[in-house]
Structure 1
Amino acid sequence: MSSLSELVKLKRKQHSLTQHDLALKSGLGLRLIREIEQGKTTMRMDKVNQLLALFGMELVAGPKNMP
């Protein structure tokens, strides 16, 4: 998985959810869901973790991928 946006979109589709459904289930705004899936690079970690928690995941530190 190369990006958070790809991960969120994949998990959402695996669970047969629309962006609107995901927003309602996560308690986050539809705009934020769309921004995450479009690759927004700045966002609050607590909001990302709130979203990822629906899929049994959380944001953690790891090694940086070097080009």
Structure 2
Amino acid sequence: MKSESNIIGAFIRQRRKLLKLTQVQLAAKAGVGLRFIRELEQGKGTLRLDKVNEVLQMFGHTVGPVPMKREEGVG
């Protein structure tokens, strides 16, 4: 199973490529550094949530609470 950071990173990479943006261009438009974009797309597990949201807002999205599926007999 993909971790949440890998899912978000894959989403960002896919949207960036659809818009034909380089990582440098996306970083400039979102107001974050190139290193941050690279780490985000690579699925780094520890990133600043405010910066993740700055990038996601470029694509009309934001990070928010999502219910977790519960396995039967758990909780």
Give the alignment's TM-score, normalised by structure 1: 0.89
* 1:14 correspondence with 2:18: yes
Could you give the per-residue CA deviations for residues 3-45 of structure 1, whole angstroms, max 9, x where no partner exists? 0110000010111100000001001000000000111011111
SS state of the match for residue 58, structure 2? helix
Correspondence for 1:43: 47
Where in structure 1 do 4 or more consecutive aligned residues deviate above 4 Å? Answer: none
Identical counterparts, % of pairs: 45
One-letter amino acid of the counterpart of residue 25, structure 1: K
Greater C-alpha Rg: 2
Work out which of the residue numbers 38, 50, 68 in structure 2 matches 1:64: 68
Instruction: Give unpaired runs (5+ residues) of structure 2.
Output: 71-75
RMSD of the TM alignment (CA)?
Answer: 1.4
Give the alignment's TM-score, normalised by structure 2: 0.80
Instruction: Give unpaired runs (5+ residues) of structure 1.
Output: none
